[in-house]
């Protein structure tokens, strides 16, 4: 059941995904609290004459806020926040466990944008098709193109 729970409709494995990395987001929250606790924003304002890069601290905070927004609160099969995902909606509408059950997944327009970040998506879908949703994860491809 674990494999099915963490296998997204599109064929990605949730536990490989950056947005589902709980430790990353816990660390980020703790880091933000630490910055606030020491009033780092005021510190950077004072130090920015000597250390000019500190003038960009507000931009750094904006980046951190955007990273926080990436956090996924649960697997896509269980996460109602993912209801707006067109891939998820398509699979559910067709009563599929996932895209691997569709004969058109290699040419699917909905999958094309994520294939740019996840180049082995077709491989994963073929692997799920071959080994089933509860037997595929040990054979999956690399999740992100930079981890190959």
SS3 75: coil
pTM above 0.85, yes or no: no
Contact predicate 134/3, CB 8 Å: yes
Is residue 43 very low, low, confident or very high in pLDDT (cuts 50, 70, 90)? very high
What was the pLDDT predicted at 56? 98
Contact predicate 115/145, CB 8 Å: no
Share of the chain above pLDDT 90, in %: 72
Contact predicate 81/73, CB 8 Å: yes
SS3 59: helix
Bigger pLDDT: 63 vs 72: 63
Per-residue pLDDT, averaged over 78-90, amounts to 80
Per-residue pLDDT, averaged over 117-121, amounts to 89
């Amino acid at each position: 059941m674990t494999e099915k729970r963490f296998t997204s409709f599109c064929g990605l494995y949730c536990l490989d995904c950056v947005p589902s990395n709980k430790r990353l987001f816990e660390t980020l929250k703790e880091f933000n609290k630490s910055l606030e606790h020491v009033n780092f924003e005021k510190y950077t304002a004072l130090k920015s004459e000597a250390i000019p890069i500190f003038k960009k601290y507000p931009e750094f905070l904006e980046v951190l806020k955007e990273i926080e927004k990436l956090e996924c609160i649960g697997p896509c099969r269980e996460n109602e926040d993912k209801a707006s995902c067109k891939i998820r909606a398509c699979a559910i509408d067709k009563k599929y466990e996932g895209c691997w059950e569709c004969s058109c997944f290699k040419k699917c327009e909905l999958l094309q944008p994520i294939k740019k970040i996840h180049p082995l998506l077709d491989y994963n879908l073929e692997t799920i098709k071959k080994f089933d949703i509860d037997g595929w994860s040990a054979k999956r491809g690399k999740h992100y193109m930079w981890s190959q």
